[in-house]
Amino acid sequence: MSRRQIILVAALVLAAGAIPFLVSDYRTFQFTLTLVYAIALLGLNLLTGYNGQISLGHGAFYAIGAYTAAILMDQYGMPYWATLPFAALVCLVAGFLFGLPALRLEGLYLALATFALGVSLPALLKYHHLEKWTGGVQGIVINKPDPPFGLPINPDQWLYLFTLAVAVLMFVLAWNLLRGRIGRAMIAIRDQHIAAEAMGINTAMVKSLAFGVSAMYTGVAGALGAIAIQYVAPDSFNIFVSIVFLVGIVIGGLASISGAIYGALFIQFVPNIADEISRAAPWAIFGVFLLVFVYLMPMGVAGAVRMALARLARKAQNRSQST
């Protein structure tokens, strides 16, 4: 990244930090969820966009992260911020272990295997032997965290800023990972796995670890989501969550870091807009939005932004040459 890009990103982060002081508490809550989804989508994009492994079941890791945080807070009285490393670790291990057998599957078969995971997890959460921890169908209610150090802001504002800080950290780590040796190996496997192996890339290890890291991101997002919504229940993690995540990375832009943010804005706000346009058939409106986006921006929003910037740069260059 050039110096200018770093300044631009820093300015965007600062602007994002100002949001809770400019909008209502409810909007702030919505933006908190947008950040949560951005982390989840970044995780899925690491796996599907960069490494070429399709997952139709990432809602499962989102749920595991959410329940890990909720159970630790509810049963063990752990502070909300301390649950994040645990949610990360549990999902990293779960993702890695799921990624190992998934090595044998490709394309649609992998999609089916992950779909099975996503579709079966809510039932598992209701399983009565686990009820002691999961609260069964009732789920778990958790308390909204108060701002620390007597900061003069309300809990919604604090939660937004906390989530923003975690999101920035997660995005920087992912950017580091992707711009170096491991990022190149992940893309190489996606593009040409036989050649990748011939170049000395341990494709099995990289793919399983990519699965683990991807699940870890989505799990941290799940934990943050649970803290923000203050409630987890099996039915809020149905298969639709997994599918919406996939919609998010495609709309935002596959194999793009910024795409995760565009995708998150889409999956957070477009259903609301659709609902305002037509209370009777919001999903029909959502479908229309989806078609328009896919048709107008076949490379996702990130791809469209990239092309627009390139065109602007070319124009600026032409102008400076002609004068």
Partner 1 sequence: MIDPIAAGALLRVEGVGVRFGGIVALDGVSFDVEAGRIVGLIGPNGAGKTTLFNCLSRLYECGSGDILFNGVSLLQVPKHGIAALGIGRTFQNLALFRTMTVLDNIMVGHHCRTHSGFFVNSLRLPAVTHEERATLEKAKSLVRFLGLEAVAGARVADLPFGTQKRVELARALAAEPKLLLLDEPASGLNHEEVGDLGTLIKEIRDRFGLTVLLVEHHMSLVMSISDRVVALNFGRKIAEGTPAEVQAHPEVIQAYLGGAH
Residues 6+ apart with CB under 8 A from 228: 29, 32, 33, 36, 159, 163
Q: Is 185 in the site for partner 1 (CB under 8 A)?
A: yes
Q: Is 182 in the site for partner 1 (CB under 8 A)?
A: yes
Q: Is 120 in the site for partner 1 (CB under 8 A)?
A: no
x/- site string to partner 1, residues 229 to 258, per CB under 8 A?
--------------------------x---
Q: Is 103 in the site for partner 1 (CB under 8 A)?
A: no
Among 34-42, 152-160, 202-210, 232-240, which window interacts with partner 1 (CB under 8 A)? 202-210
Q: What are the φ/ψ torsions at residue 176 (nearest 5 degrees)?
A: -60, -45
Q: Is 213 in the site for partner 1 (CB under 8 A)?
A: yes
CA dist list (Å): 105 to 66, 75, 109, 202: 28, 38, 6, 17
User: Which of 176, 278, 317, 318 is close enough to bind partner 1 by CB under 8 A?
Assistant: 176
Q: Is 4 in the site for partner 1 (CB under 8 A)?
A: no
Q: How far is Cα 71 from Cα 38, in angstroms, rounded to an integer?
A: 24
Minimum separation from the CB atom of position 186 to partner 1 (A): 10
User: Which of 42, 188, 224, 239 is close enough to bind partner 1 by CB under 8 A?
Assistant: 188
Q: How far is Cα 224 from Cα 66, in angstroms, rounded to an integer?
A: 7
Q: How far is Cα 226 from Cα 63, in angstroms, rounded to an integer?
A: 9
203 versus 218: smaller Cβ distance to partner 1: 203
Q: Is 27 in the site for partner 1 (CB under 8 A)?
A: no
* Nearest Cα residue to 222 out of 56, 53, 112, 92: 92
Amino acid letter, residue 303 = G
Minimum separation from the CB atom of position 283 to partner 1 (A): 34
Q: Is 195 in the site for partner 1 (CB under 8 A)?
A: yes
* Nearest Cα residue to 49 out of 296, 300, 310: 300
Q: Is 89 in the site for partner 1 (CB under 8 A)?
A: no
User: Which of 23, 103, 154, 184 is close enough to bind partner 1 by CB under 8 A?
Assistant: 184
CA dist list (Å): 98 to 38, 116, 201, 253: 23, 12, 20, 25
Q: Locate tokens 């943050």: which residue? A: 224
- Positions 261 through 280 that interact with partner 1 (CB under 8 A): none
Amino acid letter, residue 46 = L
Binding site for partner 1 (CB under 8 A): 173-174, 176-177, 180-185, 187-188, 191-192, 194-203, 209, 213, 255
